[in-house]
């Protein structure tokens, strides 16, 4: 497990040497895994890998916008039951599923420290999403246990998803602030919304140019920032309302096949999440390390679940 953790950090740092040094563009990698927390668990949201490219766009000097960023991302999420090895269908308390997608975002960041991030994704759930071979590769590479259970995974389906994220500064002192953080999803794969505060403590910048809003790329110099570099701790509790989740309920338009071994679940309407993290930047590097805790999202889940997320970004031109 420790070898896996250090291997991931080396990969994040190694990728940064590929680019020249400027600040209007950035490339990032995020890796999620429950084993990073050192609890010996391998369940539910078990692994995620994401690649980001973001480019700052020109902003009118007299307008209300302070920053504007176009983003492209490619990612995969994998889910299994209470373990990646189940004896039979009776042990599947959360459906096996993978979601692989490509998407784009437009991040609008205003001078009054409100932000609006719009996104669209097209992706796949089911065997075509590649969850089983990727998890087998991880387990074989690091000497983990043999998998069994992907024969019960969600069937193939194409997903089209739209998203909107809104943040707004509520109050600030010299070393602490609180913001409103919210999102809404609408699509064939994921529909729902979430709302909660974001507390930051330390050396942070305004929401229009901060790690917190994925807005550290800028086409023009940001001369009015609170700090040259960021180093802060944050806490983000959130209540999430789930209307539809294809990784739990299966594809919205896929028909039931009586010959299929697919096991779906019944989603819980409300899920409470908590995220504890630290964000820091220096020169052209940005990092975000967080631990995320979720209450049960499926009626039959035996446990709640948690994982860690490590994000590394390099800014260039």
| Residue 312 phi, psi (nearest 5) | -125, 135
Report if residue 21 sits inside a domain: no
CATH number at residue 143: 2.40.128.140
In contact, 208 and 102? CB cutoff 8 Å: no
- Residue 143 is part of which domain span? 29-316
Report if residue 103 sits inside a domain: yes
Report if residue 147 sits inside a domain: yes
Report if residue 2 sits inside a domain: no
How far apart are alpha carbons 173 and 142 in whole angstroms?
46
Q: How far is CA 316 from CA 25, 137, 200, 228, 296, in A?
A: 5, 32, 26, 17, 40
Report if residue 214 sits inside a domain: yes
Total domains, the chain: 1
One digit per residue, pLDDT tens: the chain, 317 residues?
444 544 454 454 444 333 333 489 999 999 999 989 988 788 999 999 999 999 999 998 778 999 999 999 999 999 999 999 999 999 999 999 999 999 999 999 999 999 999 999 999 999 999 999 999 999 999 888 999 999 999 999 999 999 999 999 999 999 999 999 999 999 999 999 999 999 999 999 999 999 999 999 998 777 789 999 999 999 999 999 999 999 999 988 877 677 789 999 999 999 999 999 999 998 889 999 999 999 999 999 999 999 999 999 999 98
Q: List the beta bridge partners of residue 258.
A: none
Report if residue 15 sits inside a domain: no
Report if residue 24 sits inside a domain: no
How far apart are alpha carbons 86 and 100 in whole angstroms?
23
> What is the value of pTM for the model shown?
0.90
Report if residue 68 sits inside a domain: yes
């Amino acid at each position: 497990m420790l070898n896996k953790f250090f291997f991931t950090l080396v990969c994040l740092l190694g990728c940064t040497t590929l680019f020249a040094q400027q600040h209007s563009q950035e490339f990032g990698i995020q890796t999620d895994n429950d084993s990073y927390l050192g609890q010996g668990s391998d369940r539910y949201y078990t692994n995620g890998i994401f690649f980001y490219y973001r480019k700052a766009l020109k902003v009118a000097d007299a307008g209300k916008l302070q920053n504007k960023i176009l983003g492209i991302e490619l990612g995969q999420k994998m889910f299994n039951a209470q373990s990646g090895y189940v004896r039979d269908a009776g042990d599947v308390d959360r459906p096996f599923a993978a979601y692989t997608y490509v998407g784009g975002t437009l991040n609008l960041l205003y001078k009054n420290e409100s932000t609006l991030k719009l996104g669209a994704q097209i992706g796949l759930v089911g065997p075509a999403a590649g969850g089983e071979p990727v998890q087998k590769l991880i387990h074989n590479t690091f000497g983990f246990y043999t998998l069994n259970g992907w024969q019960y995974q969600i069937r193939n389906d194409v997903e089209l998803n739209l998203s909107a994220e809104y943040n707004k500064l509520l109050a600030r002192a010299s070393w602490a602030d609180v913001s409103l953080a919210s999102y809404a999803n609408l699509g064939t794969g994921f529909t729902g919304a979430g709302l909660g505060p974001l507390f930051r403590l330390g050396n942070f910048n305004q929401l229009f140019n901060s790690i917190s809003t994925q807005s550290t790329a800028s086409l023009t110099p940001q001369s009015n920032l609170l700090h040259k570099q960021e180093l802060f701790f944050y806490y983000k509790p959130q209540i999430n309302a789930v209307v539809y989740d294809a990784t739990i309920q299966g594809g919205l338009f896929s028909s039931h096949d009586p010959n299929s071994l697919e096991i779906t679940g019944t989603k819980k309407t409300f899920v409470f999440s908590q995220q504890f993290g630290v964000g820091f930047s220096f020169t052209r590097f940005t990092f975000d390390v967080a631990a995320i805790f979720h209450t049960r999202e499926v009626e039959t889940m035996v446990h709640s679940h948690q994982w860690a997320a490590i994000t590394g970004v390099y800014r260039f031109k």
